[in-house]
Amino acid sequence: MRIVAPFEGVVARRYVRAGQKVAKDDKLFWVTATSPMTVKFALPEKFAGKVHSGAELTVTSETSPKEKHTARVTMVSPVVDPSSGTIEVSATLLGDAGELRPGMTANIHLDKR
């Protein structure tokens, strides 16, 4: 049988082996989309109102610190998490993700304006 995901991605985890019997609703694979690459992070509440959708930021990783990626903020939570005092932010990379992979830890650099 051929199994196809409805999006481009990579198999991050396989839950079954070749020849294994499966039933309806069995989890077979964890497929992760690789494009567009989204970074999700939290900022201290003092940044609420200072970062907004459409703003650009730079993303780097410790595995490839010289590789800099530009990302555009797509969502800023309107709510502060009371347990951590942070706001959640999502941004989408513009262009190729290079060495970045889903699930990696990334460094986010915001413009100080």
pLDDT, one tens digit per residue, over 58-82 is: 999 988 888 999 999 999 999 999 9
**Token match 């304006």: residue?**
113
pLDDT, one tens digit per residue, over 30-55 is: 888 778 889 999 999 998 888 999 99
Backbone angles phi, psi at 69, to 5 degrees: -120, 140
Residue 97 burial (C-beta neighbours within 10 Å; 0-12, 13-18, 19+): middle
Work out how many domains the chain is built from and give that number.
1
CB-CB contact of 49 with 89 (8 Å): no
Write the CATH number for 56.
2.40.30.170
Mention every residue, 6+ apart, whose C-beta is less than 8 A from residue 112: none
pTM over 0.85: no
CB-CB contact of 104 with 61 (8 Å): yes
